[in-house]
Amino acid sequence: MQNFPQVEHDFKVIDTDTRLAVVDSTVADRLQYGKVDWRELQKVSVQIAKYKLDELRTPMIMDNIYRWNLDYDDFLDYMAGIVKLKKYSGGAIII
């Protein structure tokens, strides 16, 4: 049985303003100048908070889709690029 009022009462949906950022430059180029299958796009993109994309001046490819132009790796994900930008002085990095 689907008890949506109970779910609404017990849980809170966190509504965040995120955008799609393409981390593969080849796919980003193809997307900008042609078509890319949504399944392929899903494999090479991440959701990033809009304010963070604005703060980092991430270039937009098309409406609400951005080209991730900082470092990216399979372990840290897009945070690899953000951590590299921060000056680490021995304290915790809070992002």
The Cα–Cα gap between 30 and 38 comes to 12
pLDDT for the residue numbered 50: 94
pLDDT for the residue numbered 70: 86
pLDDT tens figures, 39-91: 999 999 999 999 989 988 999 999 899 999 888 888 777 888 888 877 555 55
What are the residue ranges spanned by the domains of the chain?
Answer: 4-85
The residues near 36 (Cβ < 8 Å, ≥ 6 apart) are: 27, 30
pLDDT tens figures, 14-25: 778 999 999 999
Return the bridge partners of 73, or none: 77
Query: Under the phi-then-psi rule, with left for phi > 0, alpha for psi from -120 to 50, and beta for the rest, what region is 77?
Result: left
The residues near 28 (Cβ < 8 Å, ≥ 6 apart) are: 22, 61, 67, 68
Note the pTM of the prediction, 2 decimals. 0.71
